[in-house]
Structure 1
Amino acid sequence: MRRPRSIALTVLGTAFAVLAGPTVAHAAVPVTASKSCPSPGGATISKASVPSGAVKIYGGGWGHGMGMSQYGAQGAAKLGCDYKTILKTYYYDASLSKKNLNAPVVLNLASGATTSKLQAETGTVKWAGPTRSVVQPKGSTWLVRNYSIKGNPGIALFDQDGKRRMFVQSAAVLSASHTGKVVNVYPYGGSSALSTRYDTASYVRSGSGIKVTETIKASGGQTAVQKYLMGLGEVPVSWPIEALKAQTVAARTFLSTKYNASADAYVLSSGTADQVYKGYAVESVDEKNGGNWRKAVLATDDQVIVDKAGRTIEALYSSSMGGYTENREYVWGKYEISYLKPVDDSRWDAASSNPYRSWSVGMTKAAFAKKFGFDSVSSYSVAARGSAKRLDGVKITGKVAGRKVTKTFTGADARYRLGLRSPGFTFG
C-alpha cells in the first residue's frame, strides 16, 4: 500500500498478516489498563472543508483502516496509556502471549533484476560461490549482472574497475557475507538502496532474472527476529516508548505469521506489501535519539497477539483511522474477524500528530459514475462509521446501458476506485 514515510519524522505503516507459523507457546501475558489512560473515544473529529463538486466525500485516516491505528497509539501513549491497553483496545478480544521465534528472517529484495549493486560501507564483504570466494574492499561498490560464458547463462560479479571476479551458473547461489558491517544493497542496480548490517545478501539467476535476498540470522546474543525488528521503519523512533512497544508487538505478530516451512525461515518483502524494513537507516537514527526503539523491541521480547483459541492473530495496522477503525467485513467483505471490529479512537487520535485526521474530496456526478462503471448515478450511500449498517457496504444506484442498476461495493473497492486515502469515508 502506498503511503508517505520518512524514518526520522513520518514513517508510517501497514501490515497484512496471513498464515500462522510454528512457534512454541508460553503463558499468556495479563493485560491491565493503565490507571491514567483515558477512554479511546468520545471526542469530536471535525470535518474537513467542503470540497467542490456535486459528490462530496468526507473521510479520515490513511491506510486500510483496520486493527491498530499507529497515530492512535501515539496519541494514547501521550495521554498515559501503556502498550498493553493500546493493543487490547484495538484487538479487543485478543490477548498477549509469549512464543519463541527463533528462525532466520529472509527478505525478498528483487525477483527479476538484470543488474544489482552492493556497496561495502563500513568494512569488507566476503563473496562466495560454489567453488571459490573473493573479498570486496571497504568503500567499494561491486556489480552483479546477468552473464553467459560459452553459452552457459548465469550471473557474474564485477569489481569497481569492471574486472570480472566471479561467475556462477544459473541456479547457483552467489552470496555476500557482511555480518556487523554496513552495506548498501541496490537490488535493481538503481538509486534505491537498503542499508543493512545483517547478515548475508544472496544472488541467484532464474528464468525471470536475478533474485536478490537478504538473510538475517541469530548472532551476537540476538535472535534474527530481534535484529529484524530493530531495523523496522514503521513509525518514528522518537514517538513515546509505549507506542513503540505496541508497534513492536504488532510487527512481531505479523512476522510470526510469515513462517515458510520449506525455507525454515520467516520470509517476506522489505516494503509496504509486508512491513517497511529500513535496516541500519533506522538503527542509526534510533541510537542518536536515545535508543527507545531498541528498548521497545527488547522489553516486549517474544510477545505476540493471540485470539481466544491461542492462535496468532491477523494483526492488521495502518497509519491512522481518523477517529474510527473499520470492521473487516466492510473493508474486504466475505467474513468477519472478531478482533477487527470498529473502535472509536477519536480521543486518542485527537491527542496525536496525525496529519490525515480529516480530509475531503469532491467530483462531478459524471466522474463519480464512471469510476464505478455507471453511465449515470441517481443515488449513493454508505452508513456512518461505527454503525452496524456500514456492513452493507457502499451502495450506488444508476444506469448502465439504459437499465437501472444498484451495485454494492466493499470499502476497499470503493476506496481504490475513488483514489481515497482510506475506506474511512462517508458522503456529504
Structure 2
Amino acid sequence: MRRPRSIALTVLGTALAVMAGSTTAHAATVPVAAPVAAPVAAPVAAARSCPAPGGAALTPATQPKGAVKIYGHGWGHGMGMSQYGAQGAARLGCGYKTILKTYYYDASLAKRQLDAPVVLNLATGASKSVLDAETGSVRWASSTRSVVQPQGTSWTVGRKTINSRPGIALFDHTGKRRMFVPNAGVMSAAHSGTVVALHPYGGSSALSTRYDTARFVGSTAGIAVTETIRASGGTSAVQKYLTGLGEVPVSWPIEALKAQTVAARTFLSRKYSAAAQAYVLTAGTYDQVYKGWAVESVDAQYGGNWRKAVAATNGQVIVDAAGNTIEALYSSSMGGYTENREYVWGRYQISYLKGVDDSRWDAASTNPYRSWSVGMTKKAFAKKFGFDSVSSWSVADRGSLQRLQGVRVTGKIDGEKVTRTFTGADARYRLGLRSPGFTFG
C-alpha cells in the first residue's frame, strides 16, 4: 500500500514519493452486508489522554483556476486507517488499540497463529536478475548441483538456450557459467542471515534483504523471481517479514507503529494461498511496501522502535463481529475524513469500512497533503467523463449520507442530455486526483 514517506530518516523532511499509477485497492473476497447508516462513525471512547478523532476545522486549499474547481484531501484510496491520522493520534497520546478501533469501526483485536512462510513475487517475466552478496556468501542450488557465491560479488541469472533447451543460467562475476536449468526448473539462492540485493530487470525495483531464499524459474515469458521468508530461531516468517516492512517511517511514535504492524499483519493474513501453502504477495504498493534490510538497518540505528512494535503485537490481527479477519485497508492519509466503501467502490457497504471524522488527529500529524485543489475547463472535465459537454456536476460533502450516491455528472452525449453516476474511485481515476476525498467548488 502507498506509504506516507520513505523509511530513511535522512529524507523524512522531503516530499512524498511519486505516486504509482494506481493505489492499492482490493475488494473484499466475500461481501459483508451492513445496515444503512450515516457514513461517519461515532467517535470511539478514548483514553483520558487521547482526544476524540474528529471535530477540528480542516485547512482550506487555495482556490484553483478553471470553471470546474475541485477541493481535495489526503492521498490514497481513502478507506480504513489513515497512516498520518494514526501518527497524529499517537502524538496526542492515543494507544494503538484506540487507533485501530476508530478506523475499523466495529472490529476488535484477536490472536491468530500465523505459521506459514511468506513468498514475495518480485518479477514474473524479467529478462535477467542480478544478486549481490553483500555481507556473506550465498549457496546456489538446482536439482543436480550447488555452488557458493563469495561475499562481495555480483552473480547474474539470465535466459539461455543450451542444446536446443531454453532455460536460465547462472553466471558468476567473471562471466563464467556456473549452473543451468531448463524452463520450469528451479534455481535457488539460500542466504539466511546474509544481506543480499536482488535486481530483477523488468520486475520490481531492487530489494535488499537477509531473509531467506531467492528462487528463479524460467519460462517463455521470462524469469520469475521470488523471495521466500521462513520461520527460524523461534521467529515466524510473518514476524520476520514485518520487521522489513517500509510502510511508515520508523521514527514515528511507537503507538502509531503498533497500529501499522497490526493492520499490516491482518492484511497479510488474507493473502494465504492454499496452493503455495504460504502468504503470497508483492513487495510493492499493490500489496504492502516491503524494503527488508533497508528498514531493519535504519530501525536498528535509531532505537529499534519498529522491531519493538512488531514484537509487542505478535499474533494480533483485526477481526469483525463474527470473528473473521477483516480486509485491513489503509492508505497514506485522508485529510480529515475517511471514506465509506460504498462511495469509493460502489455496490455494497462493509461494516468496518465506514467514514470516520479524523480531522483532529490529522491536524496533529505532519501530513503534507491534508488539503489540495485542482482546476480545469468544462471542456476538459467533460472529456474525462466521456461527455461532449457538461452542464452540472456534484458530489455530497464528506461525512454525509448523501455522499454514498457517488459523483453525478450531467451533460450531453451525441446531442442527448444524460446524467451519469460514478464511484469515488472511478472519478478519482478519470480526474487524476490524489484521492477520492474531494468535493466541487
TM more than 0.5: yes
1:17 and 1:380 map into 2 onto residues whose CA distance is 27
Say if 1:17 and 1:315, in contact at 8 Å, map to a contact too: no
Q: 1:25-80, CA deviations, whole angstroms, 9 ceiling, x for partnerless residues?
A: xxxxxx98422100000000021000011100000000000000000000000000
2:313 to 295, 300, 304: 300
Aligned to 2:280: 267
Say if 1:17 and 1:316, in contact at 8 Å, map to a contact too: no
Matched, 1:356 2:392: no
Give 1:158's aligned amino acid: F
1:371 to 384, 399, 420: 384
- Runs (5+) with no aligned partner, structure 2: 31-43
1:125 and 1:208 map into 2 onto residues whose CA distance is 27
Matched, 1:92 2:105: yes
Aligned to 1:336: 349
Give 1:97's aligned amino acid: A
SS of aligned partner of 1:187: strand
1:171 to 171, 181, 184: 184
Give 1:74's aligned amino acid: Q
1:413 and 1:2 map into 2 onto residues whose CA distance is 18
Matched, 1:249 2:268: no
Matched, 1:41 2:51: no
Give 1:179's aligned amino acid: S
1:63 and 1:327 map into 2 onto residues whose CA distance is 14
**Given the superposition, is the C-alpha separation of residues 41 and 228 from structure 1 closer, same or farther in structure 2, using an over 3 Å criterion?**
same
Aligned to 1:27: none
Aligned to 1:287: 300
**Given the superposition, is the C-alpha separation of residues 277 and 202 from structure 1 closer, same or farther in structure 2, using an over 3 Å criterion?**
same
Q: 1:76-104, CA deviations, whole angstroms, 9 ceiling, x for partnerless residues?
A: 00000000000000001000000000000
Aligned to 2:6: 6
Give 1:413's aligned amino acid: D
Matched, 1:51 2:51: no
2:300 and 2:207 map into 1 onto residues whose CA distance is 18
1:377 and 1:17 map into 2 onto residues whose CA distance is 31
1:191 and 1:162 map into 2 onto residues whose CA distance is 24
Matched, 1:154 2:164: no
Aligned-residue identity in percent: 76
**Given the superposition, is the C-alpha separation of residues 249 and 178 from structure 1 closer, same or farther in structure 2, using an over 3 Å criterion?**
same
TM norm structure 2: 0.92
Aligned to 2:336: 323
**Given the superposition, is the C-alpha separation of residues 384 and 268 from structure 1 closer, same or farther in structure 2, using an over 3 Å criterion?**
same
CA-based RMSD of the aligned residues comes to: 1.7
SS of aligned partner of 1:51: coil
TM norm structure 1: 0.95
**Given the superposition, is the C-alpha separation of residues 268 and 140 from structure 1 closer, same or farther in structure 2, using an over 3 Å criterion?**
same
2:218 and 2:29 map into 1 onto residues whose CA distance is 28
Give 2:7's aligned amino acid: I
Aligned to 2:94: 81
SS of aligned partner of 1:41: coil
Number of residue pairs aligned between Structure 1 and Structure 2: 418
Matched, 1:406 2:419: yes
Give 2:209's aligned amino acid: T
Aligned to 1:123: 136
Matched, 1:204 2:213: no
1:114 offset after TM fit, Å?
1.3
SS of aligned partner of 1:184: strand
Aligned to 2:291: 278
SS of aligned partner of 1:100: coil
Aligned to 1:230: 243
Aligned to 1:23: none
SS of aligned partner of 2:112: strand
Q: Segments of 4+ in structure 1 off by > 3 A?
A: 1-5, 10-20, 189-192
2:157 and 2:369 map into 1 onto residues whose CA distance is 42
Say if 2:210 and 2:292, in contact at 8 Å, map to a contact too: yes
1:5 and 1:308 map into 2 onto residues whose CA distance is 33
SS of aligned partner of 2:201: coil
Say if 1:122 and 1:139, in contact at 8 Å, map to a contact too: yes
1:157 offset after TM fit, Å?
0.2
